[in-house]
Amino acid sequence: MIFGRPGMPPHADLRHQWHPSAGLLRPGIGEAPGLPPRPTVTHPSGIVRVPPGRAAGIPRTARGSLFPTVLCLLTLSALPAEVCRMSSLDSTTFPWLAHFRWGLLLALLLGIASPASAQMTPDQAASLLLNSARRAYNEKNFPVAIARFKEFLDRHGNHREAGSARYGLALCLIEGPQPKYAEAVALLQPLAGDKNQPDHPFILYYLGHAQRKLASLDLAQAVEKPQEAAQWRQRASQKFEDAAGRFAAASAAFLARAPKPLENARELPVDYEWALRARCDQAEMLLRLGKIKEARDLTAGFLSDALLAKSRYRRLGLYHHGFACFSQGDWLSAGKALNQLTPFTDPGFGTHARYLLARVHHQDGERAEAAGHYAGVIADHDKAVKDAQQILRNPQALANNPEEKARLQALIRSPAPDHVARAQLYLGVMHYEDGKFGEALSRFADFLKAFPTSPLAPEVQLRLGFCQVQLRAHADAIKTLQPLVEKAPTLADQALLWIAKAQSGSADPANPANYVKVQKEAVDTLKKALERVKGDDPPAKMRRGLILLETIDVLILAQMYRESADLCQRLLSDRLLPDRGEEILHRQATALHLAGD
């Protein structure tokens, strides 16, 4: 059989809500990005094997027929001279003898000039063609391999090895420089139901892999065509569902033919490794489909089973298990799995696993550890890009590995993965939470330069405005926040709240008349902010309460004391901020005192 090296899919669109800190004013940004590009699949044995059938090369009958002919030719070419010497004769005595040697040579040359294929049976000719296709595949000469596999199927569509040829052609279509996954699926689907195929487990596996690739392309279409996003995501889900089933079937098929692992063996049997690889891919599909519990249960053995600890795919299994635990909010279990992936060097999932661990530390209040891992995610990605640039400067370095070359080129040309962008964002959030507004502002500004089209950009722009208000750069804050009022409706109430803070803070106390006027303008802005708050869910109620609390303070500055006291009473009655009741009573007393009551 042929073992290939398929690539892995891009991110899924998995998102979870997170409130980064009780001190922040709104629910946090979308939480976990989708799965990162998966690691390259390598055959567990580390070798490439020829598909089932005869060894590649010329059939035995064709090879054997040339040797005696050549030997006879060489012997006879010397015969006439020997005859002359043995009989004391020379060419002057017998002139015809001088031409005897050349006549024999000419006859033999005419005899062997006929094609070797004339001596082969149709079955031998078919095997010769099929083996040449396999040899081209193993040499990664995919255009030649595709042409010869197709030629074999056109000429010998009913041959006993036609299934093997279709499987080989499908692998070429998957692994070639211009993958054609839909054609590969069409070739593999009829073979998947035939358990008598010697490559049946691999057929199931690569069918699942091709479906996964097609689903990832559908997700890309959903991003490019927002108006049709729902339909494209539905198509992707159907393909992910099919891929999950194929990977499950492949895992079972590999296990069925794998020898029982020996307890004292240092490595697992090859088929057993393939079964675990397929299990990991099935878990990935379950995560993409939102079947978190099923993915967690499927990968739990990688954490506790001593036998699975020997697998070269244990780290991949731990990653999926940690991701599943994280998605369920089980920070302890997630940390237990993800910590075992240190130092996060896997090119496919290393930085994402480190990001998830940073989030676990952040959630648990372990701020130093979280900040270290966030910074590590960014540094690791930057190093990977630089290393890729260095490798690609040598054109011959990856001449025989087009898939790795494509991965490195994509790493350089594509924007940083979503989790790298989030690491940059959360570092800024942590600085803000620590009162380091200057450092936070720098992080947010860098984010907007590096990821101007990111879906997170409006959120980051809002936080940049927060920092500017805190640093008393009020004019800059208003300029930063004003565009969000219209272009980001879900953030409009927050933007208006902080615009009002900037307006109020910019008033000059040395000019009493203008000071009061500016404060009243801020009150009007806060009323607009209140109108933009939608819904009665707890986060919306909290945002509404915070806007009212800010309005109470600005009304006092605007010398509208009675209105401020009445608003305090409303806030207490509605219990929008139940944990801040004492603080509100203090403000109410102040307002009443200033009003003369």
Residue 283 tokens read as 């878990």
Domain for residue 102, yes or no?
yes
Domain for residue 15, yes or no?
no
What is the rounded distance in angstroms from the CA atom of residue 83 to the CA atom of residue 386? 76
Q: Quote the number of domains for the chain.
A: 2
Residue 179, preceding peptide bond in cis (omega within 30° of 0) = no
In terms of residue numbers, what domain contains 95?
60-119
Q: Identify the CA nearest to 535 among candidates 26, 28, 17, 30.
A: 26
**65: burial class by Cβ within 10 Å (0-12, 13-18, 19+)?**
middle
Domain for residue 541, yes or no?
yes
For tokens 């669109």, name the residue.
13
Q: Residue 586 — φ and ψ, nearest 5°?
A: -65, -45
DSSP state of 14: -
Domain for residue 576, yes or no?
yes
CA dihedral sign of residues 226, 288, 371, 348: negative
DSSP state of 140: T
Residue 208 tokens read as 């699942």
Residue 586 tokens read as 């203090």
Q: Could you list the beta-strand ranges (E) of 478-591.
A: none
Other beta carbons within 10 Å of 507: 21
Q: What is the pLDDT of residue 129?
A: 96
pLDDT tens digits for range 19-42: 222 233 332 333 444 444 444 444
Q: What is the pLDDT of residue 264?
A: 85
CA dihedral sign of residues 412, 413, 419, 420: positive
Q: What is the pLDDT of residue 118?
A: 53
HEC per residue, 341-358: HCCCCCCCCHHHHHHHHH
**CA–centroid distance for 209 within its chain:** 13
Domain for residue 588, yes or no?
yes
Pair 352, 332: CB distance under 8 Å: no
Q: What is the pLDDT of residue 37?
A: 43
Pair 359, 19: CB distance under 8 Å: no
Domain for residue 531, yes or no?
yes
Last residue of a domain, one of 119, 137, 152: 119
| Sequence-ordered list of residues with C-beta below 8 angstroms from that of 321, at least 6 positions apart, any chain | 283, 295, 296, 299, 300, 302, 303, 337
Q: What is the pLDDT of residue 284?
A: 98
Pair 245, 192: CB distance under 8 Å: no
Size of the chain, expressed as the number of residues it contains: 597
Strand-pairing partners, residue 68, are: none
CA distances from residue 44 to 40, 248, 267, 278, 469 in whole angstroms, order as listed: 12, 18, 10, 12, 57
What is the rounded distance in angstroms from the CA atom of residue 103 to the CA atom of residue 115? 22
Domain for residue 352, yes or no?
no
Last residue of a domain, one of 97, 119, 141: 119
Q: Identify the CA nearest to 349 among candidates 375, 311, 313.
A: 313
Domain for residue 584, yes or no?
yes
Long-range Cβ pairs for the range 59-63 (8 Å, 24+): 59/120, 59/124, 59/127, 59/128, 61/119, 61/120, 61/124, 62/116, 62/117, 62/119, 62/120, 62/124, 62/128
What is the rounded distance in angstroms from the CA atom of residue 315 to the CA atom of residue 277? 11
pLDDT tens digits for range 221-261: 998 998 999 999 999 999 999 999 999 999 999 999 999 99
Other beta carbons within 10 Å of 515: 17
Pair 373, 392: CB distance under 8 Å: no
Q: Identify the CA nearest to 162 among candidates 266, 81, 53, 259.
A: 53
Q: What residue ranges of the chain have pLDDT lower than 70?
A: 1-118
What is the rounded distance in angstroms from the CA atom of residue 354 to the CA atom of residue 268? 28
**CA–centroid distance for 408 within its chain:** 13
What is the rounded distance in angstroms from the CA atom of residue 225 to the CA atom of residue 302? 39
| Sequence-ordered list of residues with C-beta below 8 angstroms from that of 364, at least 6 positions apart, any chain | 331, 335
Last residue of a domain, one of 119, 154, 188: 119
The H or E element that residue 86 is part of is: helix 66-86
Pair 208, 170: CB distance under 8 Å: no
Q: What is the pLDDT of residue 415?
A: 87
Q: Identify the CA nearest to 412 among candidates 457, 381, 376, 439.
A: 381
